Structure 1
Amino acid sequence: MNRNIKKIAVLGSGVMGSRIACHFANIGVEVLLLDIVPNALLPAEEAKGLTLDSKIVRNRIVNQSLETAVKSNPSPLFSKSYVKRIKTGNFDDDLKQIAQVDWIIEVVVERLDVKKSVFERVEQFRKPGTLITSNTSGIPIHLMTEERSEDFKAHFCGTHFFNPPRYLQLLEIIPTSHTHKDVVTFLVEFGDKMLGKTVVLCKDTPAFIGNRIGVYSMLALTHLVEKLDLSVEEVDKYTGPAMGHPKSATFRTADVVGLDTLVNVAKGLEENAPDDEAKGVFQLPAFITKMVENKWLGEKTKKGFYEKVKDNKGGSDILSLNLKTMTFGPQEKVKSSTLEATKPVEDIRKRMKVYEQGTDKAAELFRAMHYPLFEYVSKRVPEITDDFFRIDDAMRAGFGWEIGPFEVWDALGVRETIEKIKTEEKRLPGQAGEVAQWVHDMLAAGNESFYKIENGIRHFYDIASKSYKPIPGTEELIVLDHIRDTKTIWKNSGVSIIDLGDGIINCEFHTKMNTIGGDVIEGLNKAIDLAEKEYRGLIISNDGKNFSAGANIGMIFMMAVEQDYEELNMAVRMFQNTAMRIRYSSIPVVAAPFQLTLGGGCEFSMHADFVQLHAETYMGLVEFGVGVIPGGGGSKEFALRASDEYREDQIVQNTLKDRFLTIGQAKVSTSAVEAFELGYLQQGKYAVTMNRARLLADAKTKALELAADGYIQPAPRDDIKVLGNQGLGIVYVGAASMHAGNYISEHDKKISEKLGWVMCGGNLSAPTEVSEQYLLDLERKAFLELCAERKTLERIQHMLTKGKPLRN
């Protein structure tokens, strides 16, 4: 059966329901969001003479929930305008409208009786064949279908979105024995390609996969606190980014999620998983019980493992909880020789080995938490999943781990680690130091790892067949990590050029934060040379955490401090020339940005023939923050785009003003959609990929399409209309008034005037058509002049040392 999701109904508008509704609106789906009718009037409603029958009252709960969601930060919407795709109503008046939708998602309170009551009402209006799913974090899915029709059961499934649904990648799909296979197949594919999720197929077991392993891992740490005499600060320092976990680590994460939520899942697991050999881990240590009694639940109660307080100077300070005295005090600095040893090791798998081999408390914790974890996850197969790789997927996508437990185990060595698991002294409740038999069987058959790469495709050890198989759904993906060793055709310290096959090559940055310096410029030009001679197209992308944080400002700072302006001029010219080569090469160039795409990364993307970008791309020209203007073609490009937008029937200065303010206010998009709204992307020259894992494959498809359509090298522009003094007057007056009102500093005013000079084409008496090179020369001159300013150097130095902009 072919399914097309045009409209959905979300039943329940709480924190999860409203945000699930927003994410479906993000992908263009029409949403009907419903909730209960209030049973009492608010004083303000009474004062207006409203009654319980007034529509505004009957829809108050749903409308307030949606309004709260839209105003939240970070936003659940790609663009605020997308809220128009969501219509609201209530269960009593509007439930009949679900007959017109393609998918019904129930997201009411986590109580089985309430959910079953809602489903009873849904069956009165739901048309046969309509998908129906329940979003739950742990209620057994099969219990929800009792007394429901056969058609309902066949099209019913559990769906567990992680909060916030837009940003957390995990989507667990939990079918019952009645769910049609084609329904499961559709939901998995839709979640992957349309919603951009890592979709994990789960069995209907307590807490499914993500929370079963994630909550075990977090509670295991709480039991180790006393054994290893650890402080809150130590745990969060040791279990953060160095270990491949999020910055919020363990206890900060608990504060954000809410300790009550963690405790509820733990209690549910203790009660509902009686055969779990490690169920003792789910019993709460005394300090957790005390915190719950004190209602120290985290951010929702303003106090948890941390407490934010006012300091003597009117600012704020964050105190930490002393787990021995149960009092709050100043945080202590944590030092660790093991963490220091891991800092230079960027490869997460190699870093795990360094971490494990340390001799201090951090390394002791690493071993004490991972060895029992390996034992635990091995024994959850086949209980919670037949395929262990789904556990790794769930931990990466739902809990932000860089690599999952089986991947960590592989990195440490499966066989040698088993012996260490047996001898680990810091045992957790119920665990014996013995891994599941299937792991021993795997090793006995000569298979030394859980994963391996064959022909650029990742395979996993399939327990049933006792052989390696490709991970389902990954055959069509392109993962640079899997082909870099065999497909690299050229590299230097900052770039690898990798053959993707079918005549397409990829230029990959691998500098720190993928910043752009001389090595990257050299690599990009080499990639274009190679592509023009031997290939059909070029992609610019990488497998890092961010596409690019922009130019290497440390290099710029050194040249400026030493007043080596001739060298700096040459470097900026090379940057500009590279951007222009991206625009005017003889082969199609596709940029595939994602996450941070700032400064030069944004400029290179703006000059590509096509931008295939991830939905979560934060793009911007942010050079004002370090005291300069965009110098790699960004200022020129915005002048060019403004020129293309000028029309005879409009006030052209307004178009220039919008472009000018985007740079002058260093606006960074909060999504790919907003990158278009801010002018960084052009209509018809970009497409959005929802799933980050598919970005490179989608970019390759686009490059091949451009090549197959008969790509013709464009000619540089010499018809760019600039306004000259007509525009400069507006820029100068605006900058002066902003400065007079203390909205910007004297140096901001100077930078604004330099940017205006470039975008208006300099001191021209009348609007004039100029060339791109004319504007690039103005741009470079202004950039160099600003680099000679002391206040610019102060800004660059502050960014290098503090990591945030200085407004001097």
Structure 2
Amino acid sequence: MIRRVGIVGAGSMGGAIAGLVASAGLEVVLLDVRGDDEPNAPAQRGLERAVSNRAFLDPDAVGRVTVGNTDEHLSLLADCDWILEAIVEDRETKRAFFRSLIDVVGSDTLITTNTSTFALASLFPEEAASWRERFFATHFFNPPRALLLTEVACLPEADRARFDWFVRFLERRLGRRALVVRDSPGFVANRFGIYSLALAIRLTGEIGLTVEEVDALTGPLLGRPRSATFRTIDLTGLDILVLGTGSLHESTGDDYSLPPWVRRLFDEGHLGDKTGGGFFRRDGDRQLSLDVETGTYRPYREPEIPGLAEVHSQPFPERLRAAIRLPDPYGAYVRALLGGTYRYVLEKTPDVAVDLPAVDRALEWGFGWAAGPYRQMSALGPDLVAELIASADHGEPGLLTRARKHGGFYPEGGVLEIARDDVIPLDAVSTAGRDRQARVWAELERRGVYDLGDGVVAVRVSAIDQLQELINSATRATWPQALALVPRLEGLGYPYGRMLELAEAGDWQGVEDVIAGVRRGILALAESGIPFVVVLDGQVRGAATTCALWADRTVAYVTSVLGFPELAGGVPPLGSVTGLLVRGVTIPGSPAVGGATTGEDRPTSEPVGLQWFSPAQAVSIPSAARAQRLGVLSPGDVVSLDRDGLLETARAVGATLASSVRARPVKLLALGEGGQTSLRTLVTEITAQANLPPATREVWEQAVAHLAGGVSIAEALAHEGEAWTRALRDGEVPARLQTVVREATARRR
């Protein structure tokens, strides 16, 4: 079991991993070298940098991190269940650190290195022979908040059961796309990704292109990120590239060389954005670019490549074929880059990867490629690939020869096996689980309804006023035992635009009709004949948060932003107040208030806090973890870092709910005098902070009086709807609400 994690090295990578691990609810010890004046200053600065870079998916998790220094606090690692080394990428420095741990770590502690270029075996200190079975590589990608890939490797003597458990821990607890790779220098992603990057740079000078032209050719045209080649290096830092290529050349003996004009730029300290410029820089209002031939800067020149616009218009990967046929020298550049990359990948894959999909996913998840090299080669076909990699000095790689024999790298329903001349099912490869999760998400987005299994059906919710129709349609068509509702709502999810237009036109019957549609949607949740789970995985303020209040359970990605911006306009969203009361509200200083009852008048909801429901807090709650602490989400809800697996988790939760006994509430408990006073005080606070006129305050005070009286849920929602209509008649409310909606919509973009 992992409860406490020690991270040594508080640089950008170590600090970011500390933020990730702490956000998963684990205690963290973050150590760095001893500072000259303040001993813990280097680690403290690393922690502060991680906070400013939003490395903490749960902003409150910073309190779980203890900082220290390796001179005085190495003993703090003795109580850690997992120690992760993230110090400078130097072999001997790493080996020396591991030797310092020999008398510190426990007999059951996992030890991992975050190396990006060295083989695990080359870092292992022979004096620590007892570690060999629990000494792993965990190559995180930066920033881990956005890049989910973590390459994981072990030594041949590893305890495979424990290694497999650790891989699952990385996936489920930390939300990583854990990719099992062979213990080789650079593993898979850096070995191939940096090789292709270095090749792209060398070919720039050899073929005679400008840096602008290369970036135009090596971005989305080839299914790579918009930052392409040189802009990517400016963003990440030329020093990182020089260090990485040097280490990989040292470790592998392969050609990761950079041309003299790049080395000169490095020696002069032009490292990219961090130093004010690299291959590109600004001079006042002018954008400058490096001239490859002269090594000096000149004005930026927009590339003019014949036929490029037409090629871009084609979908990927079809445009790969068209890019190859661009007029020279541009087509020649693309052919040389793809051919060189493909040959290297084909030759080295048996040394670094456990299967071909692992190579594709490494480049897709780690370097942002739209399709990995084997998926690209499959799209082009073996014959064209053979033409691209043809060389007088090399024969055809064995994997390509076998691909010809079996009908490609991905014959229908399978994939070419690396170690032997055979085809294996795709479901048998190391990435099958994550691939399956991705397919489920894609199918849900495409169809709108998807059977998750175990009697649980996922439904994409695009409008809250269509909930009744969606639920009825899904249940009639699929006969589910439970539903997983996935909000995909525009703006704040309520039809505010239509209501405001109708109010402005004085069409109050139209306003009431729109509100009635929303009320029917929420009532469909309240009266659902089967349990349902709400799945939140992004910016889910407004109607999506309301859905979570009514859910039997919620499964939420930790960074989901919940709340009600509408409160800033003085109008609690329709269904939100009743939703809180249905779940059972405990207001500080008063007895249990609210709470739904069944037909037998037995409270059935868990208590939650109402104190968060004010403009001060409820407009925007920055993480699902904080929302759970505030009571917006219940203690039984699932807050997860595993974004890929949210639907899988929802299936498991839904299946459990389907087999449980649950009575649907039919009415609200009457509030006692203390509860009514507290609820009125809260409404006064809401309306006062929004500076609403007295007439609007009276509207909501009257609505609360109705809600506090033990009415049915249907009546409570009707009272909320009436309050909405009357509030919109107040001249100030529509204008304020329009501003709130506009700001919330802009924020989502």
TM-score normalised according to structure 2 size: 0.80
Match of 2:628 among 676, 686, 692: 676
Structure 2: distance between partners of 1:467 and 1:129: 39
Counterparts in 2 of 1:653-692, with a 5 A limit?
Answer: 658-661=612-615, 666-667=619-620, 669=622, 671-677=623-629, 680-684=632-636, 686-692=637-643
Task: Tell me which residue corresponds to 1:648.
Answer: 590
- Aligned partner of 1:155: which letter? R
Q: 1:194 to 1:369 in 2, by over 3 A?
A: same
Match of 1:601 among 544, 548, 553: 544
Structure 1: distance between partners of 2:552 and 2:304: 49
Q: Aligned with 2:21: secondary structure?
A: helix
Displacement after TM superposition at 1:263 (Å): 1.8
Q: Aligned with 1:17: secondary structure?
A: helix
Task: Tell me which residue corresponds to 1:779.
Answer: 724
The answer to whether the aligner puts 1:383 opposite 2:339 as a matched pair is: no
Q: Is the 8 A contact 2:115 2:137 kept in 1?
A: yes
Displacement after TM superposition at 1:332 (Å): 5.4
Bigger Cα displacement from structure 2, 334-343 vs 188-197: 334-343
Displacement after TM superposition at 1:784 (Å): 8.8
Q: 1:798 to 1:662 in 2, by over 3 A?
A: closer
After superposition, what is the alpha-carbon deviation per residue over 1:319-357, rounded to whole angstroms, capped at 9, x for unaligned? 4535457436578599998668867x9xxxx54225644
Task: Tell me which residue corresponds to 1:536.
Answer: 481
Task: Tell me which residue corresponds to 1:701.
Answer: 652
Structure 1: distance between partners of 2:302 and 2:484: 47
Displacement after TM superposition at 1:733 (Å): 4.2
Task: Tell me which residue corresponds to 1:6.
Answer: 3
After superposition, what is the alpha-carbon deviation per residue over 1:92-114, rounded to whole angstroms, capped at 9, x for unaligned? 33323433332222222222222
Match of 1:30 among 27, 30, 39: 27
Q: Is the 8 A contact 1:319 1:329 kept in 2?
A: yes
Q: Aligned with 1:775: secondary structure?
A: helix
The answer to whether the aligner puts 1:172 opposite 2:151 as a matched pair is: yes
Structure 2: distance between partners of 1:233 and 1:791: 47
Q: Is the 8 A contact 1:757 1:763 kept in 2?
A: no
Match of 1:461 among 400, 413, 416: 416
Q: Is the 8 A contact 1:524 1:578 kept in 2?
A: no
- Aligned partner of 2:39: which letter? R
Q: Is the 8 A contact 2:363 2:369 kept in 1?
A: yes
Q: 1:526 to 1:386 in 2, by over 3 A?
A: same
Counterparts in 2 of 1:410-489, with a 5 A limit?
Answer: 410=378, 412-413=379-380, 415=381, 418-423=382-387, 436-445=397-406, 447-450=407-410, 459-463=414-418, 464=420, 466-469=422-425, 470-472=427-429, 479=436, 482=439
Structure 2: distance between partners of 1:617 and 1:678: 14
Task: Tell me which residue corresponds to 1:17.
Answer: 14
Task: Tell me which residue corresponds to 1:746.
Answer: none
Question: How many equivalent residue pairs?
Answer: 719
Q: Is the 8 A contact 1:568 1:784 kept in 2?
A: no
Q: Is the 8 A contact 2:12 2:50 kept in 1?
A: yes
Displacement after TM superposition at 1:434 (Å): 7.8
Match of 2:665 among 699, 714, 723: 714
Higher relative contact order structure (alpha carbons within 8 Å, sequence separation ≥ 6) = 2
Displacement after TM superposition at 1:702 (Å): 0.6
Q: Is the 8 A contact 1:639 1:760 kept in 2?
A: no
Match of 1:84 among 58, 63, 70: 63
Gaps of 5+ in 2: 595-608
Counterparts in 2 of 1:248-397, with a 5 A limit?
Answer: 248-274=227-253, 276=254, 279=255, 282-285=256-259, 287-307=261-281, 319=287, 321-323=289-291, 326-327=296-297, 351-354=316-319, 356-357=321-322, 369-370=337-338, 372-397=340-365
Task: Tell me which residue corresponds to 1:141.
Answer: 120
Q: 1:319 to 1:554 in 2, by over 3 A?
A: farther
- Aligned partner of 1:505: which letter? V
TM-score normalised according to structure 1 size: 0.75
Displacement after TM superposition at 1:124 (Å): 1.9
Q: Aligned with 2:246: secondary structure?
A: helix
Q: 1:540 to 1:351 in 2, by over 3 A?
A: farther
- Aligned partner of 1:303: which letter? G
Q: 1:667 to 1:642 in 2, by over 3 A?
A: farther
- Aligned partner of 2:276: which letter? K
Bigger Cα displacement from structure 2, 214-223 vs 380-389: 214-223
Displacement after TM superposition at 1:580 (Å): 3.0
- Aligned partner of 2:4: which letter? K
Match of 2:575 among 629, 633, 651: 633
Q: Aligned with 1:693: secondary structure?
A: coil
After superposition, what is the alpha-carbon deviation per residue over 1:104-159, rounded to whole angstroms, capped at 9, x for unaligned? 22222222222222222211223334322222111232222243232123322222
- Aligned partner of 1:295: which letter? G
- Aligned partner of 2:473: which letter? K
Displacement after TM superposition at 1:537 (Å): 0.8
Q: Is the 8 A contact 1:635 1:779 kept in 2?
A: no
Structure 2: distance between partners of 1:766 and 1:495: 39
Q: Is the 8 A contact 2:564 2:573 kept in 1?
A: no
Structure 1: distance between partners of 2:695 and 2:22: 41
Structure 2: distance between partners of 1:122 and 1:241: 46
- Aligned partner of 1:633: which letter? G
| Identical aligned residues as a percent | 23
Q: Is the 8 A contact 2:99 2:125 kept in 1?
A: no
Structure 1: distance between partners of 2:732 and 2:233: 45
Q: 1:554 to 1:60 in 2, by over 3 A?
A: closer
Task: Tell me which residue corresponds to 2:598.
Answer: none
Q: Is the 8 A contact 2:16 2:144 kept in 1?
A: yes
Q: 1:227 to 1:378 in 2, by over 3 A?
A: same
Q: Is the 8 A contact 1:550 1:602 kept in 2?
A: no
Displacement after TM superposition at 1:479 (Å): 3.8
- Aligned partner of 2:142: which letter? N
Alpha-carbon RMSD: 4.6
The answer to whether the aligner puts 1:496 opposite 2:476 as a matched pair is: no
Structure 2: distance between partners of 1:267 and 1:179: 29
Q: Is the 8 A contact 1:460 1:471 kept in 2?
A: no
Bigger Cα displacement from structure 2, 519-528 vs 375-384: 519-528
Q: Is the 8 A contact 2:465 2:519 kept in 1?
A: no
